[in-house]
């Protein structure tokens, strides 16, 4: 494994009975890269992502995430990645503070470290007013920003974001992406799925999955040149509609 490559996927395949959800995909992601993982509903994105974060075993093929093999060391993978999904982010019935303490705890951070991180977060995100409020009472945009920060508590090498900005207002969505840029700039790799095609443009490289296969993988600029279109949306439509 090269020094700066944090995800290596080779011929990864996942079958459910007769159905091939992920069909022989291969790609690499570098350190500090923002990697967009796009595809229509049911194209196999979620299945592929589950294999990479070590909660689902591939049918065949190889994958290494953060230097660990998905078959042999799924637990080491989990220690070295952060994960944030749209569906589950934080506990609604705990306060912001309690959520941070809890998630810091499950990643084995010391009490002192958690305290330190919490102060840092409160400072950076401007949480002073809401740190003792229940997460359930916060607007969606806040929740998503906080849960992204929580996914970063243990300084993971890679963060997996599953549609992090669905339904979020446009201003918060941009603030969220600024956080992503900052995180990537500091050397953390971002692996992100989204349905907003303008967000695909923010990525360093983008892969597009169609029916379990990666049909395109390049920088947004090159993809647009390749498909002779002016937006990623059109690239996506051309590919997915066939």
Partner 1 sequence: MSISVQNISKSFKDKTALKNISFEVQEGELFGLIGPDGAGKTTLFRILTTLLFADSGTATVANFDAINDYKKIRNNVGYMPGKFSLYQDLTVEENLEFFATIFGTTIEENYDLIKDIYVQIEPFKNRRAGKLSGGMKQKLALCCALIHKPKVLFLDEPTTGVDPVSRKEFWEMLKRLQTKGITMLVSTPYMDEAALCDRIALIQDGKILEIDTPQHIVKHYPKTIYNVSANNMYQLINSLKNYEHNYSVYPFGEFVHYSDKRNDFNPTDLKLYLEKQQLQNIQISKTAATIEDTFMELAK
Applying CB under 8 A, the residues found at the interface with partner 1 are: 39-43, 139-141, 163, 166-172, 174, 177-178, 181-182, 184-185, 195-198, 201-202, 220-221, 231-233, 236-237, 240-241
Length of the chain: 242
> Which residue number, 105 or 170, has a Cβ lying nearer to partner 1?
170
Q: What single DSSP character describes residue 73?
A: -
How far apart (Å, rounded) are the C-alpha atoms in residues 46 and 36?
Answer: 13
Which of 146, 158, 50, 159 is CA-nearest to residue 103? 146
Helix axes 140-151, 170-185, angle to 10 degrees: 10
* Minimum gap (Å) between residue 1 Cβ and partner 1: 26
> Which residue number, 64 or 165, has a Cβ lying nearer to partner 1?
165
Q: What single DSSP character describes residue 239?
A: H
Cross-strand partners of 20: 15
> Which residue number, 106 or 171, has a Cβ lying nearer to partner 1?
171
* Minimum gap (Å) between residue 131 Cβ and partner 1: 19
> Which residue number, 63 or 161, has a Cβ lying nearer to partner 1?
161
Query: Residue 19 burial (CB < 10 Å; 0-12/13-18/19+)?
Result: exposed
* Minimum gap (Å) between residue 163 Cβ and partner 1: 7
* Minimum gap (Å) between residue 118 Cβ and partner 1: 25
> Which residue number, 68 or 191, has a Cβ lying nearer to partner 1?
191
* Minimum gap (Å) between residue 237 Cβ and partner 1: 6
> Which residue number, 101 or 233, has a Cβ lying nearer to partner 1?
233
* Minimum gap (Å) between residue 130 Cβ and partner 1: 15
How far apart (Å, rounded) are the C-alpha atoms in residues 233 and 84?
Answer: 24
Q: What single DSSP character describes residue 204?
A: S
Scanning 126-196, the segments in alpha helix (DSSP H) are 140-151, 170-185
């Amino acid at each position: 494994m090269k020094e700066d490559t944090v995800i290596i996927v080779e011929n990864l395949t996942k079958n459910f009975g007769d159905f091939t959800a992920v069909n022989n995909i291969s790609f690499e992601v570098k350190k500090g890269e923002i990697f967009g993982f796009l595809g229509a509903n049911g194209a196999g994105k979620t299945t592929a992502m589950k294999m990479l974060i070590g909660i689902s075993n591939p049918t065949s093929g190889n994958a290494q995430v953060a230097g660990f093999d998905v078959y042999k060391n799924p637990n080491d993978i989990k220690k070295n990645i952060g994960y944030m999904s749209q569906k589950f982010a934080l506990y609604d019935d705990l306060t912001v503070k309690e959520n941070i303490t809890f998630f810091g705890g499950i990643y084995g951070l010391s009490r002192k470290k958690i305290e330190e991180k919490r102060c840092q977060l409160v400072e950076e995100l401007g949480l002073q007013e809401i740190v003792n409020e229940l997460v359930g009472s916060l607007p969606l945009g806040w929740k998503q920003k906080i849960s992204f920060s929580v996914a970063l508590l243990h300084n993971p090498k890679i963060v997996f974001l599953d549609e992090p900005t669905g339904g979020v207002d446009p201003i918060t969505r941009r603030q969220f992406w600024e956080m992503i840029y900052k995180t990537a700039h500091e050397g953390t790799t971002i692996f992100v799925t989204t349905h907003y095609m303008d967000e695909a443009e923010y990525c360093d490289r983008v892969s597009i999955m169609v029916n379990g296969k990666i049909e395109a993988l390049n920088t947004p600029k090159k993809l647009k040149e390749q498909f002779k279109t002016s937006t990623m949306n059109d690239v996506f439509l051309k590919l997915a509609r066939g």
